[in-house]
Every structure is written in C-alpha cells, then in structure tokens.
Structure 1
C-alpha cells in the first residue's frame, strides 16, 4: 500500500478517539505522530493539526473549545505531498496539550505543583521576547486558550510535563531532523516548509497583536536567519501572483521548528508558512469550505511543485 494512503487511513483511526477533553473516556495510548520518508530535497511538517487528545490531558474545558487551538485540516491541504516524493511529518497530539513549535525551556513555573524549582532540572528561558508568549499562556504547555480561557483547573506535576516531552516533543523533533538530514544528504541542500494555519483575526491571547486581521498568507524565516531571504521572497511572489495577500515576517516570523533546523549558510532552509483559515474552512464549525479548499490546495500543490524544481544554491 502506498505510504500516503497508509498515513491517511491511520489518521482516520486516530481521530476516532478524543479522550483528553473534560468528561471524555480514557482510551489506549495512540501513536503521537506519523512520518513518510521522501526522495526529494523538500520536507514538510505540520506540528499543530493533531486531533488525538491523550487521556492524561485532564483539561477542564470541553472538546469544541479545545479544538479551536488546532491548525485544523492543514494535513488535508497538503495530503498530495508524499506522492510527489516530499517527506512529510505530522503531529497527532494537539498543540494545546504540548506545542512542538516551542522550545522545552518555554515553561511557566506558575502552572506546576509546589517544588517546581527543584524538581525541574532542565533550562528555563529568560529571553524577554520568548517570555512575552509564555506569559500569554502560549509556552511549551499552554495555560490559556487563544481567547484567554484557563485550560486547567489544577496544577500540573513535573512528571507529567516530562512525560509529554518524552512522548511527543522529542520523537516529533527527531523525525523532522531525520527527514531534513536525509533530504540534505541526497541533494546537498534541503527546503523545509513548516506548515500552519491562522485565524482570520487574532484573538486576545493568541499573539502579541490581538485584533489583527491577517493576510491570506504569512511567510516567516526569522528575518532571514533560517532561510535565504531570496527564497522566502520568491514564495511570497509566487503566492501573490495567484491573487493572495502575503505578509513577510509579520506578525509571525517562525518559531522553534524553523529556528532549530534552519541554517541557510549550510544550504538548510526552513520557512514557516501560515495560511488564513478563512480561505478554506468555517472557523466556527471547523467544516471545510469545498470551493475554497479546492482552489487553495491546487495552489499549494503548484507551490510545492515549483519548490521541487528550485535549487536555492543557484
């Protein structure tokens, strides 16, 4: 069976169980990510589209509220990619349980039981820019929803935080790193697209720009530090030619996955691509809008095919 079809079937089985929401039953542990090897220089990953809510989540809010944090349907938008030889890595755990696009140092000590300072032996960030997002409740383990609703009615233990890191963060990052290393070894360069979606309007606790009306796309390379600015700007131009509004490095520059794996001087390019959800879905019901989805997916396929023919060294 083709690897892409196996992934789709597996995803459907995983989405059948949602044990982590308030009042939901516990189920057996599920696989926390999927990875399809590639044969090209291109790697795509989707860290925030997961819909499998682990039984140890024990959130205080219901599933519909939790699901508003998902980059819903992003994995479906790029479902064509493995058949083109593109490496694909996809998280099944939800970002509101653990955010794979954050460093493990981005923790909020106020979320934990007494004794955190002695029990937590890993680094804790002191970077003032990073701490802005942690204080919004958007660190490695979220404290608030995008609308500012508390996610827990309890304090977490250090042991459960470590378990989430070991079960979700470490294997996900290892899979992304392997895919990029393999692509680079095959071709002498790699292009990593970190796939996301964003609401049409930023909520109060979502970003540092609440109320901002987003463009159709935001392309981020952390101000040219994770990819060639020429490549990033070429992606912006490609999308604009197809009628989309595109912002570059504002309000989203890219976070941990592009920061960690992007090294343009070594021909390792990592770029974050944010897509406005209004283009392809109803943000209230989470239902796909078929016409918008079809048009967008066709344009994303064209973008991926163009990237497959692009060598940033030239």
Structure 2
C-alpha cells in the first residue's frame, strides 16, 4: 500500500482513525491534519463552509507518498481537525500564549467564520470527542514510537503539516515556504535540527527555523531526546504544491520540486544516528 492509496477523506467506519504504512526504519512521519472525514451526525451540525473543510492540511499525505519506498512509517489521520484537533494540548493549554490559538474542538474557521449552524459543542461534548478520537490516536502514536525505539534504539518523528500561505488570523503577510519547528531546540538534538534545516536552506524554497511555527503539541510532547525520541515539525505553505482556492486541488506538477526536497529531508533523517 502506498500513501496514494490512503483514503484520508473517506472512511468506511467512524472508528478508523488513521491510515498506517509500516516502515522498517527509525522514522515515523505523522500527518494529523490531512483528514477530511466527519461523522454524518456531526457534519449535519456544521455550516456549509465547515462541511468543505477549508482548514485541512490538504494532500500532505500525498507529498510524503514515497515514505513506504524508503522505509519510513507513515501515520495519517482520517478525521478532520474540526472533529477534534489532534495537535492540541489535551487540557487546552495554548501553544502560543498571547497569540490567537485554535481550540481542541475548533469553533471558528481560520477566517473566523462560525463552523456550527446552531449551538457550538459544550464542555461535555468536547471531552467526549477527546475520549473518542484524540486519546485513541495518541495512544496508537505512542505505541508505534515505542515499538520503533525498541527496535532501532531511537525514533525520529516528523510531524507533517501545511497551511494556506496567508492567514491573517495567525500571522502577518505571507508565510515562508518551509517552516521547521524544533520547539526552540528542545524536541531534538541540535545536530539533527541543523542537518534537517540545511536541506531546506539549500532548496529553491524559502525556509525558516523555529519562527511562527515552533512545533505543536505533538512535537513538544513526544520530542524527548533524553528518552530516545527526536521530533521535528515541518509546516509547508500550501501555495508550494496546490491551488489554495476551493476545491483545493492537488497539483502534481507544482508539487514535484517540493517532493524532491522532502525526499532529501527524509533521507537525512533516515541516515542520522544519535
């Protein structure tokens, strides 16, 4: 099975929380926001805008469609971030204090449009979704990282994301093309972060490190170099590989140069050892 086969937007049952490609290397690529599936009862409560899932990390699993070929594992969430945001703190702590932060269960789109046609989810519903979707996904992610570390002596987690290149709610102007996050160096050794960033800097894309996006909950929580788990986040401006207007189509020709950079990045991660 390849990532191209992974139906992250269409699942046969509500309990299928991720698509998994099992690799034989220390690298696990996690894609928590590419899913577009919403259970029918929940979808019926959403506005037409929300039903189109404009804030998905569209097609990121396709960008890393080569993962299986090179021995990397890939875990792609099936459910939309509007169901529950898998990259938020389970207690709701803000990732970026003082800035605008979206919630565990988002109430507004990135353009500040209401997501619910009627009443928004109350506290009990938020906790129900956390238990139903967030907790099992993270349990599975932890188990897979532990298994990789046991097999190889260490694990590397690449948390893969994308976002529209201009979202005034979260940042001014246009976002740089490639945004590497290492929680200001806390989620992985300096040598690993330096090697990864060098690949991005040598590309034809603009790149920054630990800028507006330093890494979300997944990078900060699982990145524990002292415990043998090393995490990085890569946030990509969607203009690099797709049309940012509805219906947000995948553009294979535009994506090809970016995929070449991502292959070089993954190759560096695969060759790195503590």
What TM-score, normalized by structure 2, do the two folds share?
Answer: 0.90
Match of 1:15 among 9, 12, 20: 9
Residue 227 of structure 1: aligned partner: 188
Aligned equivalents of 1:59, 1:149: Cα separation in 2:
14
1:29, distance to aligned residue in structure 2 (A): 2.9
Q: Say which SS state the counterpart of residue 160 (structure 1) adopts.
A: helix
Residue 290 of structure 1: aligned partner: 252
Tell me whether 1:278 sits opposite 2:239 in the alignment.
yes
Q: 1:97 to 1:64 in 2, by over 3 A?
A: closer
Q: RMSD of the alignment, in Å? A: 2.2
Greater Rg, structure 1 or structure 2? Answer: 1
Aligned equivalents of 1:155, 1:239: Cα separation in 2:
40
Q: 1:168 to 1:202 in 2, by over 3 A?
A: same
Residue 158 of structure 2: aligned partner: 193
Residue 70 of structure 1: aligned partner: 56
Q: Say which SS state the counterpart of residue 67 (structure 1) adopts.
A: coil
Tell me whether 1:33 sits opposite 2:33 in the alignment.
no
Number of matched residues? 271
1:132, distance to aligned residue in structure 2 (A): 4.4
1:198, distance to aligned residue in structure 2 (A): 1.8
Aligned equivalents of 1:85, 1:95: Cα separation in 2:
28
Q: 1:52 to 1:155 in 2, by over 3 A?
A: closer
Q: 1:188 to 1:137 in 2, by over 3 A?
A: closer
1:259, distance to aligned residue in structure 2 (A): 1.3
Aligned equivalents of 1:132, 1:102: Cα separation in 2:
16
CA contact (8 A) 1:38 1:179 kept: no
Q: Say which SS state the counterpart of residue 167 (structure 2) adopts.
A: coil
Aligned equivalents of 2:15, 2:228: Cα separation in 1:
36
User: Which digits, 9 at most, give the CA deviation of each residue in 1:181-217, with x for residues without a partner?
Assistant: 122112212111000012111232xx2x3x3311110
Match of 1:259 among 220, 231, 237: 220
Residue 82 of structure 1: aligned partner: 68
Residue 167 of structure 1: aligned partner: 132
Aligned equivalents of 2:243, 2:35: Cα separation in 1:
18
CA contact (8 A) 1:71 1:196 kept: yes
Q: 1:28 to 1:223 in 2, by over 3 A?
A: closer
Structure 2 matches for 1:88-167, cutoff 5 A?
Answer: 88-106=74-92, 125=93, 130=96, 132=98, 136=100, 138-152=102-116, 153-167=118-132
1:306, distance to aligned residue in structure 2 (A): 2.3
Q: 1:54 to 1:226 in 2, by over 3 A?
A: same
List runs of 5+ in structure 1 lacking aligned partners: 18-26, 107-124
Aligned equivalents of 1:28, 1:194: Cα separation in 2:
25
1:131, distance to aligned residue in structure 2 (A): 5.6
Residue 110 of structure 1: aligned partner: none
CA contact (8 A) 1:101 1:255 kept: yes
